[in-house]
Amino acid sequence: MTQKITITTLKQMKSTGEKIACLTSYDASFAKLQDETGVDVLLVGDSLGMVLHGDETTLNVTMTDMIYHTGLVSKVCQRAFVISDMPYESYTSAMQALENAKRLFNEANADMVKLEGGAEISEAVSMITEAGIPVCGHLGLMPQSIHELGGYRVQAKTEAEAKKLKQDALSLQASGADCLVLECVPAKVATEVSDMLDIPVIGIGAGVDCDGQVLVVYDMLGLSDKEFKFSKNFLSGKGSIADALKDYVTAVKDNSFPSASHSYE
């Protein structure tokens, strides 16, 4: 029997220094392959709006979409920990957040739900975690706030922005969050946040010193229209998708990915 990864496992990995390999996943075929090749965490991301639906942003993704795709992924996972994104406008109030988190947890069998935002969502995080549903925070570049952020650009570059990000990270942890995704922030800031928190920090475009790494699976297989600085094509030169996935897990675990060229200063 394969040992299922839990939030306790992820926290132990942080404490022992073992890196957490995470990828997005949206369907049973990919999820089964990712699970079998040693990916620790599968994130059913609202990025599906862009990579599956062909939209410019994640903003059109619905709760129905997230429940459907999360259910497909969780159904086949024997080992991997499954995190599901709460989509845009599904947590505009703490009570709405709790009801929608319960749906992802009960109807789609997510192991954890992920919300974007800092101190302003602390009440929602508290309510969800008090109901026994683990929460992952998301700071830095937050795709659901892309219009407010002025586009897809590196966050927390100034001292004031970095200070606020750290305060938000501490607020999320204090509210009960068990994990945090940091997207597109300077590597130095991400290192400081990872060291500061007791909970695992998973980075994307946030340097090598986070407790784990996540990429959109289509990006790391070279299937996306755009190339991103923080990503790498792991399928290039490989014989199969399975080989590419194994190579990604190995590269995250041995700290060879991300390199300085995939990170921001």
Give yes or no for a contact between 69 and 100, defined as CB atoms under 8 angstroms apart.
no
Question: b/e for 207-229, b at 16 or more Cβ within 10 A?
Answer: bbbbbbbbbbbbbbbeebeeeee
**CA–CA gap between residue 210 and residue 229 (Å, rounded):** 17
Tokens of 210: 């986070």
CA 121 to chain CA mean position, Å: 17
Q: Minimal CA–CA distance to 101: which of 63, 142, 143? A: 63
**CA–CA gap between residue 117 and residue 130 (Å, rounded):** 19
What is the SS3 assignment for 239? coil
Phi, psi of 45, rounded to the nearest 5 degrees? -90, 150
Q: Please tell me which residue in 130, 183, 227, 265 is annotated as part of the active site.
A: 183
Gyration radius (Cα) of the chain, Å? 17
For this structure, is 183 an active site residue?
A: yes
Residue found under tokens 């989509």:
87
Q: Active-site positions?
A: 183
